[in-house]
Homo-oligomer: A and B are copies of this chain.
Amino acid sequence: MPQTPLTVAELSEAELLTRIFPRLELGASHSAAVLLGPGDDAAVVAAPDGRTVVSIDTQVQDQDFRLRWNNGYRTTGYDVGWKAAAQNLSDINAMGAAATSMVVSLTMPADTPVDWVEDLADGLSAAIGKLGAGSCSVAGGDLGRGGELSVTVAVLGTLSGGQPVLRSGAAAGDTLAIAGNAGRAAAGLALLESQHPVESLSPDLRQLLDLQCRPEPPLEAGPLARISGATAMMDISDGLVRDGTRLAIASGVVLDLDPGMLRTLTVPLQPAAALLGADPLAWVLGGGEDHGLLATFPADVQLPPGFTGIGSVQARGTHEAAGVKIAGRPADSVGWDHFAD
């Protein structure tokens, strides 16, 4: 008879924390920025330049991930932990900052297996390490029960004395550039929602699926862009056109995308598009969740490593709205909105 797994209902909060803390590499090995870690009512984190960058984001089951996808893939705790960390680290990256710490609040149904939670802690920790947020560690958190799985991360970061890169600074004549993946997580999502089981996928296709479950934001690129003089920046979480429109509106400009560069971005997506009968350009333009960076740089600045030019910033014409164009024509692909159906 298979053993029923140990559930969180069978442990006290203290017992569960005892299983999680070592996986977050807390204690002696935590980052120097965490001056006081878990165990008290609050943590204390260094803010060396007298400021801290802060962001918060929640992942909820059946909204941000499915526990079981249409193609049979089961989301692991590791996936959820990784994604929660990656998505939040990306928000700090998008300001041109480096993460110093995160606090995590985990809400779980009583029947959640303890090993699923341990796996989540492993995923969180792995994302921090492997994505290059080497100065970041988990400073504290909160565990509680609920009817559905939900993970909220608040992340703190430092600008190391520099100015944050806002969405509002793009100017006509700037170069528009991206760093990181574009459309891969969207292609992965389409594979997860398809009839093609994981086992049937080639390594290339499997990688796309993996990038939906465990996105890889380019965490070195944000601070590099700030140092290189980026005029505006944001992370692409809802799609290139939708997020680009936000940046364009905040800056009062038009972003004009180069169709040739967009076609280049579709290349790694073409096998998945062929398998699913999908348009890879729609993934590039409308897909979020890769958490790449969209940034603008003065035309005379050499793009920092990791960035690729994909267009230019233009002044709005008379009576023209701020927005995104492709070779001078309004882009009509849209990304994702959490509320409007």
Seen from chain A, the residues whose Cβ lies within 8 Å of a Cβ on chain B are 8-9, 11-13, 15-16, 35-36, 39-58, 60, 62-64, 90-92, 94-95, 97, 101, 103-105, 107, 110, 139-148, 150, 152, 154-157, 159, 164, 166-167, 234-235, 250, 337-341
A-B contact pairs, 28 of them (CB 8 A): A13-B337, A15-B339, A16-B339, A35-B51, A40-B94, A41-B167, A42-B55, A42-B92, A44-B54, A45-B52, A45-B53, A45-B54, A46-B51, A47-B47, A50-B50, A55-B140, A56-B104, A56-B154, A57-B142, A58-B152, A60-B107, A63-B144, A63-B145, A103-B154, A110-B339, A143-B339, A144-B338, A154-B154
Separation of A103 and B43 alpha carbons in the complex (Å): 16
Name the distance in Å between A67's Cβ and chain B's nearest Cβ: 12
Tell whether, in the assembled complex, residue A56 and residue B144 are in contact, meaning their CB atoms are under 8 Å apart. no
Contacts of A103 in B (CB 8 A): 54-56, 154
Number of copies of this kind of chain in the complex: 2
Name the residue among A92, A150, A154, A235 with the largest chain B CB count within 10 angstroms: A154
In the complex, what residue of chain B is closest to A246 when comparing beta carbons? B14
A100 → B minimal CB distance (Å): 9
Give Cα A139 to B142, complex, Å: 21
